């Protein structure tokens, strides 16, 4: 099942000099690097990449709420709201700030089940909980209860498309 997927190496990873390490992890498993470019994204492209839709906002806000509950912390103290959509909007605003803050690498990877394989290599959203052996698990210990009081997004190094339809949409957006 030959697929193509989109990966972004975000500004935090570029600044830390992890570009070569990250690309080599995709290459060594057998994914093919089809296209790659380095750019400082403008606000417009990032806004389209993370659309202002309710599902996305609910999902992002929900993960922050879950983490706060897990550590028995109070979101109201840090964000002034406990509304899942409002929290999603705040995260989206911080994502736009982060991705436009410096050089980012966009690339297209292809291979058998490339979407799923790439997500597996990247690891789960919150680095603190991501498995060792994944990019996020090996190179970051960030978590929402640490990043949120600092009014910034999670430094989780990479983005990878979540599904084939998302991959097609994102490839058209960035290339
Ligand atoms: P999401 O699409 O849920 O995760 P993924 O990147 O694994 O597909 O969230 C998009 C980005 O939003 C995520 O990579 C980092 C940021 N984010 C935060 O900064 N804090 C949070 O609590 C969450 C859930 C996401």
Do residues 141 and 128 touch, judged by C-beta distance below 8 A? yes
Q: Determine if ligand 1 sits within 6 Å of the CB of residue 143.
A: no
Q: Determine if ligand 1 sits within 6 Å of the CB of residue 63.
A: yes
Tens digit of each residue's pLDDT (9 = 90 or more) over 79-115: 999 999 999 999 999 999 999 999 999 999 999 999 9
Domain range for 25? 2-174
pLDDT over 90 percentage in the chain: 90
CB count within 10 Å of CB 18 equals: 19
Atom of ligand 1 nearest to the CA of 144: 22
Q: According to the 3-state scheme, what is the secondary structure of the chain?
A: CEEEEEEEECHHHHHCCCHHHHHHHHHHHCCEEEEEEEECCCHHHHHHHCCCCHHHHHHHHHHHHHHHHHCCCCHHHHHCCCCHHHHHHHHHHHHHHHHCCCCEEEEEEEEECHHHHHHHHHCCCCHHHCCECEHHHHHCCCCHHHHHHHCCCCCCCEEECCCHHHHHHHHHHHC
State the distance from the centre of ligand 1 to the C-alpha of 64, rounded, in angstroms.
Answer: 9
State the distance from the centre of ligand 1 to the C-alpha of 95, rounded, in angstroms.
Answer: 8
Domain total of the chain: 1
Atom of ligand 1 nearest to the CA of 148: 20
Tens digit of each residue's pLDDT (9 = 90 or more) over 123-153: 999 999 999 999 999 999 999 999 999 999 9
Tens digit of each residue's pLDDT (9 = 90 or more) over 26-44: 999 999 999 999 999 999 9
Q: Is 99 exposed, middle or buried (0-12, 13-18, 19+ CB in 10 A)?
A: buried
Query: How far apart (Å, rounded) are the C-alpha atoms in residues 95 and 87?
Result: 12
Q: pTM here?
A: 0.95
State the distance from the centre of ligand 1 to the C-alpha of 56, rounded, in angstroms.
Answer: 10
Query: How far apart (Å, rounded) are the C-alpha atoms in residues 78 and 24?
Result: 38
- What CATH code is carried by the domain that includes residue 78? 3.30.70.141
State the distance from the centre of ligand 1 to the C-alpha of 92, rounded, in angstroms.
Answer: 9
Q: Determine if ligand 1 sits within 6 Å of the CB of residue 159.
A: yes
């Amino acid at each position: 099942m030959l697929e193509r997927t989109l990966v972004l190496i975000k500004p935090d990873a570029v600044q830390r000099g992890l570009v070569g390490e990250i690309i080599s992890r995709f290459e060594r498993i057998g994914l093919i690097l089809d296209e790659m470019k380095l750019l400082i994204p403008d606000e417009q492209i990032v806004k389209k990449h993370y659309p202002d839709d309710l599902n996305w906002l609910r999902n992002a806000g929900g993960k922050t709420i879950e983490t706060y509950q897990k550590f028995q912390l109070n979101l109201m103290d840090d964000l002034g709201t406990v509304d899942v959509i409002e929290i999603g909007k705040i995260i989206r605003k911080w994502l736009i700030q982060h991705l436009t803050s410096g050089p980012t690498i966009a690339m297209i990877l292809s291979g058998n089940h490339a979407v799923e394989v790439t997500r597996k290599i990247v690891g789960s959203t919150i680095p603190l909980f991501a498995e060792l052996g994944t990019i996020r698990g090996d190179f970051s210990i960030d978590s929402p209860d640490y990043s949120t009081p600092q009014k910034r997004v999670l430094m989780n190094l990479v983005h990878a498309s979540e599904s084939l339809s998302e991959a097609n949409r994102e490839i058209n957006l960035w290339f």
